Amino acid sequence: MRIGELAARAGTTTRTLRYYESRGLLPARRGDNGHRTYDESDLTLLRQIRTLQDFGFDLEETRPFVECLRAGHPAGDTCPASIAVYRRKLAELDELIGQLQAVRAEIGVRLAGAGGEPPLCELGGQQL
């Protein structure tokens, strides 16, 4: 398939695909006529990248998942490097959640001190 069709099927733009190509995430294959050519495996790579970016991964963090797929694995998250990225991202998210919980608690204290009652909120079965 050509670049326009791949972009449409992946829900992105040709400019984005060219950028991914320049970063080494998308293969740069050309047909006899000089046009970029892609196949279903490239669509799978793009879907993996887009899903991870939707989850908050930056583009470089998607690289191990892309390399895992290129190595022939059916899923991009079955290789040790991908699993390591997942672990780092979970630790990062846990840190952010902790920071947000601390901010929420402080705002609740300030609200209570101002004569208002802090709203109750539950997260994971814990009252905050």
Residue 64 has pLDDT above 80, yes or no: yes
- The structural domain count of the chain equals 1
> Could you read off the pLDDT of 7-44 as tens digits, one per residue?
999 999 999 999 999 999 998 888 888 888 999 999 99
Range of the domain at 72: 3-127
Cα separation, 20 vs 107, whole angstroms: 42
CATH number of the domain that residue 60 is part of: 1.10.1660.10
| Contact in structure between 104 and 128 (CB atoms under 8 Å) | yes
For the stretch 84-111, pLDDT in tens is 999 999 999 999 999 999 999 999 899 8
